[in-house]
Structure 1
Amino acid sequence: MAAKVSVLVPVDVDSKVLKSSTAVETYADYVAGKVYKKGDRCVSPTKNRIFESLQDNNSGHDPAITDNLTGNTPWWMDYAPTNRMAMFDTDVSTATVAPSPLTVVLQPGFFRDLYLNLDADEVDLVVRDSPGGSVIRATHEVLEGSQPGDYDEYFFGRFEPRYDFIAQDIEPYNAAEITLTLTSASGTVSCAVMDVGDLIALGDTLVGAKVTPKTYSYVDQDKFGGAKIVRRGAANDLAITGILDRSESPMVHRTLMKVLDTPVLVTASTGVDYSPLRNFGLVSGGIEYPNIPDKCNLNINVQGLIRWQ
């Protein structure tokens, strides 16, 4: 079977979909009668966001009301997602952090695939056909990424953590329930991204896919010629070419339009040897209609937003 260019179209996860989480919040819920000082922070339960007070004597100004966030003298600033919801927002720089184990329960409805970007030792995934119903998928995985090439490397090579997890081809049910548990011997786990949805095949992957590691570090050079490397994060960019039946081009175009400006998972292959050819980021590209009967060319570029291990 040919490798497929695929994109994970996610389901929106809000407080109605997230049924429970063992992650705790750093800040208390907003209280209408409380007087907040400049710099104080609180949680808006209706928005699932943390807000920071921009003024002293801030009382009776609900941060969930847009008018209190705007104008010449706004009362509040949108600071960050809540700890519970950080793993479900589109900002990869925010993460849900919790003592091990972290357990979350979701009821997303129809879905077939799941992707995590996380820092943990082990993942336990249980999917049921309904809340408390029959188990349709149970997976336990140790997040160890090394692939020793010989016995010396097997016994003496360093442990290589893996920071991604993908579960595919889960049987879809309208009332599906997901229970995810992350554990770590260090005592703390974090999850920056949890995407649940459908991994949609756009076309067959052609030879020549390219992954390009990039760094946001830079050299800070002073007026005396001294140089210092300022360490920053890293990511990968991905370029994939593919081919598809011309009859599929409207569906592929609609899928690409759905994920514009939304960070998503893109894969060029599910093979273990081709794990670098998957990425989470912003998608661009297009469909070409060449002088080939019944076929179209597909060009996909992914601006990577997180470091893929």
Structure 2
Amino acid sequence: MKIIKPTVITDAKLVSSSIPENDHPVWSAATAYAKGDRVILVSTHSIYQRLVAGTTAASPDVDPENWQRVGPTNRWAMFDRAVGSLSSATDTMTVTLEPGIVRALALVDVAAAEAIVTMTDGAETVYSRTVDMRDESNVIDWESYFFGDFLVRKTVMTLTDLPPYLNGQVTITLNGTGPVSIGTVAVGSIFNLGVTVHGMSLGIIDYSVKSTDSFGVTAVVERAWAKRMTAQVVLDTTRVDEVHRQLAATRATPAVWIGGDRIDQSVIYGFFKDWSIDVAYASKSYCSLTIEGLT
């Protein structure tokens, strides 16, 4: 079980992006807006919608009576530390970050044919990985080979071996045919809790509403859902204090939890709901966790 603790990406850490920030016109205090007009507030990289017609000098982020935040701009959606907002482009997108010393990277909610990650230190390329995002786990026999769905794509990718360069620049490129998108880019430090034991439980939390009236007719209102994982980790008893501190420090920070290196569905961007450490033996202890993803 590993935890990637993301570094907050600021303007200074975003070196370049192929995605323009031109979703809507930039907000201007001198412009008269109609109800429903949308603007970009560059200082927060957010989109705001006008609630009433008129002109106001106050910035939208401090004027809730006249403006409502809709979400992040397309360029910054991948860095907003939320699930549900996507950065999208056609055929390809490239972003370059200078996040400081980092050891791991996770891409969540990806729609692309391949992902390329490189790190440079000055003019030298110190790391390069190309990942094919095709998911061939559904090909289990000749029938599924000839008649199965070969358009299934992996939606997550994790790299846990980035070299620690203080001034290293990380470039992420997504390639595909047609629309490509990504929900979350998490780059930061990594902490190894221990070895996930057999019996890990994976599922989802469905927030859809199903109601049945007095005539037996069931109506379904589809809503968001989130991943859920319950797992037990074995660790050396000498590491109990260290693991306890790390988990306590992660209580209010969205992180990427990796339950198993070969199971994509065990990669969850979210919080722990509960955890406890059983100091079972002099040499080995057990940590039980329940992880819930963001919706």
For the criterion TM > 0.5, the same-fold answer is yes
1:228: Cα distance to partner?
A: 3.5
Q: Are positions 1:219 and 2:210 aligned together? A: yes
Q: What SS is found at the alignment partner of 1:93?
A: coil
Q: What SS is found at the alignment partner of 1:182?
A: strand
User: Corresponding residue for 1:299?
Assistant: 288
How far, CA to CA, are the matches of 2:117 and 2:6 in structure 1? 18
User: Corresponding residue for 1:19?
Assistant: 15
How far, CA to CA, are the matches of 1:76 and 1:151 in structure 2? 57
Q: What SS is found at the alignment partner of 1:98?
A: strand
1:85 and 1:96 in contact (8 A); partners too: yes
How far, CA to CA, are the matches of 1:101 and 1:298 in structure 2? 41
2:78 and 2:183 in contact (8 A); partners too: yes
Cα deviation, 1:115-141, whole Å, max 9, x if unaligned, reads 1121112212221124xx211222222
Report the CA distance shift for 1:229/1:63 in structure 2 as closer, same or farther (over 3 A): closer
1:61 and 1:75 in contact (8 A); partners too: no
Q: Are positions 1:57 and 2:48 aligned together? A: no
How far, CA to CA, are the matches of 1:275 and 1:169 in structure 2? 17
Q: Are positions 1:180 and 2:172 aligned together? A: yes
Question: Residues 150-189 of structure 1 correspond to what in structure 2 (within 5 A)?
Answer: 150-159=141-150, 160-185=152-177, 187-189=178-180
User: Corresponding residue for 1:143?
Assistant: 133
1:294: Cα distance to partner?
A: 4.9
User: Corresponding residue for 1:34?
Assistant: 31
**Residue 104 of structure 2, aligned match among 87, 105, 113:** 113
TM-score by length of 2: 0.89
2:275 and 2:290 in contact (8 A); partners too: no
User: Corresponding residue for 1:208?
Assistant: 199
Report the CA distance shift for 1:9/1:152 in structure 2 as closer, same or farther (over 3 A): same
2:275 and 2:289 in contact (8 A); partners too: yes
User: Corresponding residue for 1:246?
Assistant: 237
**Residue 9 of structure 1, aligned match among 2, 5, 9:** 5
TM-score by length of 1: 0.86
Report the CA distance shift for 1:158/1:29 in structure 2 as closer, same or farther (over 3 A): same
Q: What SS is found at the alignment partner of 1:101?
A: strand
Q: What SS is found at the alignment partner of 1:198?
A: strand
2:278 and 2:287 in contact (8 A); partners too: no
Cα deviation, 1:74-115, whole Å, max 9, x if unaligned, reads 232222111111111121011112222111111111111111
1:198: Cα distance to partner?
A: 1.9
Q: Which amino acid aligns with 1:202?
A: L
1:214: Cα distance to partner?
A: 3.9
Q: How many residues align?
A: 291
How far, CA to CA, are the matches of 1:29 and 1:254 in structure 2? 44
Q: Decide which moves more: 237-246 or 211-220.
A: 211-220
Structure 1: gaps spanning 5 or more residues? none
Q: Which amino acid aligns with 1:221?
A: T
The percentage of counterpart residues that share the same residue type is 26
Q: Which amino acid aligns with 2:171?
A: T
Q: What SS is found at the alignment partner of 1:252?
A: helix
Q: Are positions 1:104 and 2:95 aligned together? A: yes
2:19 and 2:75 in contact (8 A); partners too: yes
Q: What SS is found at the alignment partner of 2:117?
A: strand
How far, CA to CA, are the matches of 1:257 and 1:48 in structure 2? 31
Structure 2: gaps spanning 5 or more residues? none
